[in-house]
Amino acid sequence: MEINIGTKLIISGMTIEVVSDAGEKWETRNITTREIVFFDKSVLLNAVKLGKAEEVLE
């Protein structure tokens, strides 16, 4: 799976949207609380591969 800006994911009970690419991290927005959360790219990609996170299809 490729993660791009605008991709929505569910991880750890949060629904997040990737807002921008910040080098080694992605800046994401928690859709429910509107908080900004930074995720390491490798951590988020591994979570998707392991089934701990999944893409939200609209």
Residue 34 has pLDDT above 80, yes or no: yes
- Residue 3 is assigned to a structural domain of this protein: no
49 lies in some domain: yes
The CATH code of the domain that includes 19 is 2.30.30
For the segment 22-48, the average pLDDT, to the nearest whole number, is 94
What pLDDT shows up at residue 7? 95
Host domain of residue 30 = 8-55
Note the pLDDT of residue 2: 84
Under 8 Å CB-to-CB from 15, ≥6 apart: which residues?
Answer: 8, 9, 30, 31, 32, 56
> To the nearest whole number, what is the mean pLDDT of the chain?
93
Q: In this structure, are residues 29 and 17 in contact, taking their beta carbons and an 8 Å threshold?
A: yes
SS3 34: coil
pLDDT of residue 58: 76
- Say what the pLDDT of residue 22 is: 87
Tokens (6 digits) for 42: 């490798």
9 close to 51: Cβ distance less than 8 angstroms: no
pLDDT value for 26: 95
Q: Using only C-alpha atoms, what is the Rg of the chain?
A: 10
**What's the total number of domains in the chain?**
1
pTM of the model: 0.85
